[in-house]
């Protein structure tokens, strides 16, 4: 339990450092995800939700097809 907590803390700290590095004065590279007010990040988030929901609906569809065949 304690180890798990420490592990989560470690992971969290890693994420924070990543975001700190990102804010440093790095030369502007051709980074799509950080252009245009980072709108692409929003698109990625919304698409991820959409993919998740659609996969879920798809799975229900497949299960129903199986059930219908059994009946």
Partner 1 sequence: MSPVPAQKINRGEPMTEAKNYMHKYWWKILSIVLLFYTVIAGFLFEVPRLPLLQETIRNLYFHVCMWFAMMILFTISVVNAIKYLRTLKMKYDIYARNFAVVGILFGILGYATGAIWASFTWADPNITVIDNFKTIARDPKLIGAAIALLVYFAYLILRDSVQDMDKRARISSVYNIFAYAILFPSIWILPRVLDSLHPGQDGNPALDVKNDISSGMRIVFYPAVIGWTLLGVWITTLKIRTSIIKEKKLSK
Q: Which is nearer to partner 1, 25 or 68 (CB)?
A: 68
Name the maximum alpha-carbon separation found in the chain.
64
- The answer to the question of residue 9 lying near partner 1 (CB under 8 A) is no
Please identify which residue in the block is written with the tokens 């790095």: 26
Q: Which is nearer to partner 1, 9 or 42 (CB)?
A: 42
Question: Rounded CA gap, 55 and 61, in Å?
Answer: 10
Stretch 21-60: interaction string toward partner 1, x if CB under 8 A? ------------------x--xx--xx--x---x--xx-x
Q: Which two tokens stand for residue 68?
A: 């219908």
């Amino acid at each position: 339990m304690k180890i798990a907590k420490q592990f989560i803390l470690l992971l969290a700290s890693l994420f924070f450092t990543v975001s700190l590095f990102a804010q440093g004065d790095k030369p502007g590279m051709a980074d799509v995800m950080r252009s245009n007010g980072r709108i692409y990040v929003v698109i990625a988030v919304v698409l991820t939700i959409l993919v998740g929901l659609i996969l879920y609906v798809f799975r229900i569809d497949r299960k129903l097809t199986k059930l219908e065949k059994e009946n």
